Structure 1
Protein backbone atom coordinates (compact mmCIF):
# COMPACT_ATOMS: atom_id res chain seq x y z
CA UNK A 1 0.00 0.00 0.00
CA UNK A 2 1.45 3.35 -1.03
CA UNK A 3 0.74 6.41 1.07
CA UNK A 4 0.16 9.51 -1.05
CA UNK A 5 2.80 12.18 -0.59
CA UNK A 6 0.26 14.82 0.43
CA UNK A 7 -0.82 12.66 3.41
CA UNK A 8 2.79 12.47 4.62
CA UNK A 9 3.30 16.23 4.17
CA UNK A 10 0.04 16.96 5.99
CA UNK A 11 1.03 14.66 8.88
CA UNK A 12 4.42 16.39 9.21
CA UNK A 13 2.78 19.82 9.17
CA UNK A 14 0.44 18.81 12.00
CA UNK A 15 3.38 17.54 14.08
CA UNK A 16 5.39 20.72 13.54
CA UNK A 17 2.48 23.05 14.31
CA UNK A 18 1.60 21.07 17.44
CA UNK A 19 5.15 21.47 18.69
CA UNK A 20 5.08 25.21 18.02
CA UNK A 21 1.72 25.58 19.80
CA UNK A 22 3.00 23.69 22.84
CA UNK A 23 6.07 25.93 23.02
CA UNK A 24 3.87 29.04 22.77
CA UNK A 25 1.62 27.70 25.56
CA UNK A 26 4.60 27.18 27.85
CA UNK A 27 5.94 30.66 27.09
CA UNK A 28 2.54 32.26 27.65
CA UNK A 29 2.45 31.22 31.32
CA UNK A 30 5.41 33.51 31.98
CA UNK A 31 7.91 30.87 33.03
CA UNK A 32 11.42 31.09 31.66
CA UNK A 33 12.70 27.60 31.27
CA UNK A 34 15.96 25.84 30.71
CA UNK A 35 16.11 22.22 29.65
CA UNK A 36 18.65 20.32 31.68
CA UNK A 37 19.65 17.03 30.16
CA UNK A 38 20.95 13.96 31.85
CA UNK A 39 24.35 12.46 31.19
CA UNK A 40 23.14 8.85 31.38
CA UNK A 41 20.20 6.76 30.29
CA UNK A 42 19.02 6.11 33.84
CA UNK A 43 18.41 9.74 34.80
CA UNK A 44 15.55 11.52 33.04
CA UNK A 45 16.06 15.12 31.97
CA UNK A 46 14.33 17.79 33.99
CA UNK A 47 13.46 21.42 33.46
CA UNK A 48 14.76 24.17 35.71
CA UNK A 49 12.74 27.37 35.78
CA UNK A 50 14.98 30.45 35.85
CA UNK A 51 12.21 32.47 37.48
CA UNK A 52 11.64 29.88 40.20
CA UNK A 53 15.38 29.53 40.81
CA UNK A 54 15.61 33.30 41.38
CA UNK A 55 12.75 33.20 43.87
CA UNK A 56 14.29 30.12 45.50
CA UNK A 57 17.65 31.83 45.95
CA UNK A 58 16.06 34.71 47.85
CA UNK A 59 13.97 32.33 49.98
CA UNK A 60 16.99 30.13 50.67
CA UNK A 61 18.93 33.09 52.03
CA UNK A 62 15.99 34.18 54.18
CA UNK A 63 14.69 30.79 55.37
CA UNK A 64 17.77 28.54 55.35
CA UNK A 65 20.72 30.95 55.59
CA UNK A 66 20.61 31.25 59.37
CA UNK A 67 21.85 27.67 59.75
CA UNK A 68 23.10 26.64 56.30
CA UNK A 69 25.51 27.87 53.66
CA UNK A 70 26.05 26.62 50.14
CA UNK A 71 29.76 25.95 50.55
CA UNK A 72 30.52 25.74 54.28
CA UNK A 73 29.21 23.64 57.13
CA UNK A 74 27.56 25.76 59.79
CA UNK A 75 24.89 24.70 62.30
CA UNK A 76 23.65 22.57 59.40
CA UNK A 77 25.64 20.97 56.57
CA UNK A 78 26.60 22.78 53.37
CA UNK A 79 23.96 22.60 50.63
CA UNK A 80 25.77 22.93 47.30
CA UNK A 81 25.24 19.63 45.46
CA UNK A 82 22.66 18.45 48.00
CA UNK A 83 20.24 17.56 45.17
CA UNK A 84 21.05 14.01 44.08
CA UNK A 85 23.30 13.36 47.10
CA UNK A 86 22.74 10.71 49.77
CA UNK A 87 21.60 12.13 53.11
CA UNK A 88 24.12 12.40 55.93
CA UNK A 89 27.37 12.20 53.96
CA UNK A 90 28.89 15.70 53.90
CA UNK A 91 32.49 15.49 55.10
CA UNK A 92 33.42 17.18 58.37
CA UNK A 93 29.83 17.62 59.50
CA UNK A 94 28.57 15.94 62.66
CA UNK A 95 25.18 14.50 61.75
CA UNK A 96 22.58 13.14 64.14
CA UNK A 97 22.22 9.35 64.15
CA UNK A 98 18.89 9.84 62.39
CA UNK A 99 20.56 11.45 59.37
CA UNK A 100 23.63 9.19 59.35
CA UNK A 101 21.36 6.13 59.20
CA UNK A 102 18.84 7.59 56.73
CA UNK A 103 19.01 5.75 53.43
CA UNK A 104 17.69 8.56 51.22
CA UNK A 105 18.85 10.40 48.13
CA UNK A 106 17.78 14.06 48.09
CA UNK A 107 15.30 14.53 45.23
CA UNK A 108 12.27 16.77 44.67
CA UNK A 109 10.09 14.35 46.62
CA UNK A 110 12.45 13.62 49.51
CA UNK A 111 13.47 17.26 49.96
CA UNK A 112 9.81 18.27 49.94
CA UNK A 113 8.90 15.66 52.57
CA UNK A 114 11.92 16.67 54.66
CA UNK A 115 11.06 20.37 54.57
CA UNK A 116 7.41 19.71 55.46
CA UNK A 117 8.41 18.01 58.72
CA UNK A 118 12.05 16.97 59.28
CA UNK A 119 11.37 15.29 62.63
CA UNK A 120 8.70 13.05 61.10
CA UNK A 121 10.91 12.30 58.09
CA UNK A 122 13.92 11.31 60.22
CA UNK A 123 12.99 10.71 63.84
CA UNK A 124 15.75 12.03 66.05
CA UNK A 125 17.07 14.69 63.69
CA UNK A 126 18.21 17.94 65.22
CA UNK A 127 16.57 20.04 62.51
CA UNK A 128 13.21 21.23 63.73
CA UNK A 129 12.57 24.00 61.18
CA UNK A 130 9.56 23.39 58.93
CA UNK A 131 8.72 25.10 55.68
CA UNK A 132 4.93 25.04 55.47
CA UNK A 133 4.27 26.82 52.18
CA UNK A 134 4.36 24.55 49.13
CA UNK A 135 5.39 27.34 46.76
CA UNK A 136 8.35 28.24 48.98
CA UNK A 137 9.46 24.61 49.24
CA UNK A 138 9.23 24.20 45.47
CA UNK A 139 11.27 27.34 44.82
CA UNK A 140 14.00 26.39 47.30
CA UNK A 141 14.19 22.85 45.90
CA UNK A 142 14.43 24.26 42.37
CA UNK A 143 17.26 26.55 43.52
CA UNK A 144 19.14 23.67 45.15
CA UNK A 145 18.57 21.54 42.04
CA UNK A 146 20.10 24.29 39.88
CA UNK A 147 23.29 24.07 41.97
CA UNK A 148 23.66 20.31 41.62
CA UNK A 149 26.56 18.59 39.97
CA UNK A 150 25.60 15.16 41.30
CA UNK A 151 26.51 12.18 39.12
CA UNK A 152 24.04 11.82 36.28
CA UNK A 153 22.95 15.47 36.39
CA UNK A 154 24.11 18.41 34.39
CA UNK A 155 22.14 20.93 36.37
CA UNK A 156 22.30 24.65 36.04
CA UNK A 157 20.40 27.57 34.69
CA UNK A 158 21.47 29.04 31.39
Structure 2
Protein backbone atom coordinates (compact mmCIF):
# COMPACT_ATOMS: atom_id res chain seq x y z
CA UNK A 1 0.00 0.00 0.00
CA UNK A 2 2.79 2.42 0.96
CA UNK A 3 4.59 1.53 -2.26
CA UNK A 4 1.46 2.44 -4.31
CA UNK A 5 1.16 5.82 -2.59
CA UNK A 6 4.87 6.48 -3.15
CA UNK A 7 4.53 5.65 -6.88
CA UNK A 8 1.42 7.86 -7.07
CA UNK A 9 3.37 10.80 -5.60
CA UNK A 10 6.20 10.33 -8.12
CA UNK A 11 3.73 10.09 -10.97
CA UNK A 12 1.99 13.27 -9.76
CA UNK A 13 5.31 15.15 -9.58
CA UNK A 14 6.32 14.00 -13.07
CA UNK A 15 2.92 15.01 -14.50
CA UNK A 16 3.03 18.39 -12.73
CA UNK A 17 6.52 19.15 -14.09
CA UNK A 18 5.51 18.05 -17.61
CA UNK A 19 2.31 20.12 -17.45
CA UNK A 20 4.17 23.19 -16.18
CA UNK A 21 6.76 22.81 -18.94
CA UNK A 22 4.05 22.59 -21.61
CA UNK A 23 2.21 25.59 -20.15
CA UNK A 24 5.41 27.67 -20.06
CA UNK A 25 6.30 26.69 -23.63
CA UNK A 26 2.82 27.65 -24.80
CA UNK A 27 2.98 30.97 -22.93
CA UNK A 28 6.34 31.96 -24.40
CA UNK A 29 5.62 30.87 -27.99
CA UNK A 30 2.01 32.04 -28.50
CA UNK A 31 2.95 35.59 -29.52
CA UNK A 32 5.70 34.43 -31.86
CA UNK A 33 3.41 31.90 -33.54
CA UNK A 34 0.68 34.54 -33.98
CA UNK A 35 3.24 36.97 -35.40
CA UNK A 36 4.54 34.39 -37.88
CA UNK A 37 0.99 33.49 -38.91
CA UNK A 38 0.18 37.16 -39.54
CA UNK A 39 3.40 37.58 -41.52
CA UNK A 40 2.58 34.52 -43.65
CA UNK A 41 -0.92 35.86 -44.29
CA UNK A 42 0.46 39.26 -45.31
CA UNK A 43 2.92 37.57 -47.67
CA UNK A 44 0.05 35.62 -49.24
CA UNK A 45 -2.05 38.79 -49.57
CA UNK A 46 0.83 40.62 -51.26
CA UNK A 47 1.39 37.65 -53.56
CA UNK A 48 -2.17 37.80 -54.93
CA UNK A 49 -2.44 41.61 -54.95
CA UNK A 50 1.10 42.88 -55.59
CA UNK A 51 -0.02 46.49 -56.20
CA UNK A 52 -1.12 46.83 -52.57
CA UNK A 53 1.14 48.49 -50.03
CA UNK A 54 -1.02 47.42 -47.08
CA UNK A 55 -4.30 45.68 -46.36
CA UNK A 56 -7.39 46.25 -44.30
CA UNK A 57 -6.78 45.06 -40.76
CA UNK A 58 -9.71 42.76 -40.20
CA UNK A 59 -9.90 39.04 -39.59
CA UNK A 60 -12.37 38.18 -42.33
CA UNK A 61 -12.51 38.41 -46.09
CA UNK A 62 -12.85 40.16 -48.48
CA UNK A 63 -10.03 42.53 -47.65
CA UNK A 64 -9.29 45.81 -49.37
CA UNK A 65 -5.75 46.50 -50.56
CA UNK A 66 -4.40 50.05 -50.36
CA UNK A 67 -1.54 51.94 -52.00
CA UNK A 68 0.87 54.27 -50.15
CA UNK A 69 -1.69 57.11 -50.33
CA UNK A 70 -4.40 54.92 -48.77
CA UNK A 71 -6.35 54.54 -52.03
CA UNK A 72 -8.02 51.20 -52.72
CA UNK A 73 -6.07 49.35 -55.42
CA UNK A 74 -7.95 46.07 -55.21
CA UNK A 75 -9.49 43.32 -53.16
CA UNK A 76 -8.57 39.88 -51.85
CA UNK A 77 -11.20 37.15 -51.63
CA UNK A 78 -10.97 33.84 -49.84
CA UNK A 79 -12.38 31.02 -51.96
CA UNK A 80 -13.40 27.55 -50.79
CA UNK A 81 -14.08 24.78 -53.33
CA UNK A 82 -15.08 21.14 -53.03
CA UNK A 83 -12.30 19.28 -54.84
CA UNK A 84 -11.92 15.62 -55.72
CA UNK A 85 -10.32 14.65 -52.41
CA UNK A 86 -11.59 17.38 -50.12
CA UNK A 87 -11.75 21.09 -49.59
CA UNK A 88 -9.58 23.50 -51.58
CA UNK A 89 -8.90 26.89 -50.00
CA UNK A 90 -7.42 29.79 -51.97
CA UNK A 91 -6.87 33.54 -51.98
CA UNK A 92 -7.77 35.50 -55.11
CA UNK A 93 -6.56 39.04 -55.76
CA UNK A 94 -8.63 41.43 -57.88
CA UNK A 95 -7.86 44.89 -59.18
CA UNK A 96 -10.49 47.65 -59.01
CA UNK A 97 -11.93 46.45 -62.34
CA UNK A 98 -12.36 42.93 -60.88
CA UNK A 99 -9.59 41.48 -63.03
CA UNK A 100 -7.63 38.66 -61.36
CA UNK A 101 -4.19 39.77 -60.16
CA UNK A 102 -3.16 36.51 -58.53
CA UNK A 103 -4.28 33.21 -57.04
CA UNK A 104 -2.66 31.30 -54.19
CA UNK A 105 -3.80 27.90 -52.98
CA UNK A 106 -3.72 27.91 -49.18
CA UNK A 107 -4.66 24.29 -48.62
CA UNK A 108 -5.75 21.26 -50.63
CA UNK A 109 -5.84 17.49 -50.28
CA UNK A 110 -5.96 16.56 -53.94
CA UNK A 111 -4.25 13.48 -55.37
CA UNK A 112 -0.45 13.97 -55.34
CA UNK A 113 0.91 14.35 -58.86
CA UNK A 114 -2.54 14.93 -60.37
CA UNK A 115 -5.03 17.23 -58.66
CA UNK A 116 -2.32 18.69 -56.45
CA UNK A 117 -0.97 20.41 -59.59
CA UNK A 118 -3.62 23.09 -59.04
CA UNK A 119 -1.09 24.62 -56.62
CA UNK A 120 1.59 24.96 -59.29
CA UNK A 121 2.52 28.29 -60.80
CA UNK A 122 1.93 27.27 -64.42
CA UNK A 123 -1.73 26.47 -63.62
CA UNK A 124 -2.37 29.45 -61.34
CA UNK A 125 -0.69 31.98 -63.65
CA UNK A 126 -3.43 31.35 -66.24
CA UNK A 127 -5.92 33.27 -64.08
CA UNK A 128 -3.90 36.51 -64.01
CA UNK A 129 -5.46 39.29 -66.06
CA UNK A 130 -8.75 37.47 -66.57
CA UNK A 131 -12.22 38.79 -65.88
CA UNK A 132 -14.67 36.34 -64.32
CA UNK A 133 -16.38 35.59 -67.67
CA UNK A 134 -13.13 34.02 -68.92
CA UNK A 135 -12.44 32.06 -65.73
CA UNK A 136 -13.71 28.77 -67.12
CA UNK A 137 -11.91 25.68 -68.32
CA UNK A 138 -11.35 25.65 -72.08
CA UNK A 139 -13.63 22.62 -72.40
CA UNK A 140 -16.35 24.77 -70.77
CA UNK A 141 -15.79 27.72 -73.12
CA UNK A 142 -13.23 29.64 -71.07
CA UNK A 143 -9.52 30.37 -71.23
CA UNK A 144 -8.10 28.13 -68.48
CA UNK A 145 -6.27 24.92 -69.44
CA UNK A 146 -7.36 22.20 -67.05
CA UNK A 147 -4.90 19.71 -65.63
CA UNK A 148 -4.85 16.40 -67.49
CA UNK A 149 -6.47 13.63 -65.41
CA UNK A 150 -7.53 16.19 -62.79
CA UNK A 151 -10.61 17.74 -64.36
CA UNK A 152 -12.62 17.69 -61.13
CA UNK A 153 -9.94 19.60 -59.21
CA UNK A 154 -9.35 22.05 -62.07
CA UNK A 155 -13.05 22.70 -62.55
CA UNK A 156 -13.70 22.98 -58.80
CA UNK A 157 -11.21 25.78 -58.18
CA UNK A 158 -11.95 27.52 -61.50
CA UNK A 159 -15.71 27.55 -60.90
CA UNK A 160 -15.30 28.65 -57.28
CA UNK A 161 -13.08 31.57 -58.30
CA UNK A 162 -15.52 32.69 -61.02
CA UNK A 163 -18.60 32.40 -58.78
CA UNK A 164 -16.94 34.23 -55.88
CA UNK A 165 -15.83 37.08 -58.12
CA UNK A 166 -19.35 37.41 -59.58
CA UNK A 167 -20.91 37.42 -56.09
CA UNK A 168 -18.36 39.93 -54.82
CA UNK A 169 -19.00 42.29 -57.76
CA UNK A 170 -22.67 42.45 -56.77
CA UNK A 171 -21.76 43.64 -53.28
CA UNK A 172 -19.35 46.34 -54.44
CA UNK A 173 -21.38 47.95 -57.24
Q: Smaller-chain TM-score range?
A: 0.3 to 0.5
Greater percentage in strand: 2
Question: Whose RCO is larger (CA < 8 A, sep 6+)?
Answer: 1
Greater percentage in helix: 2
Pair member with larger Rg: 2
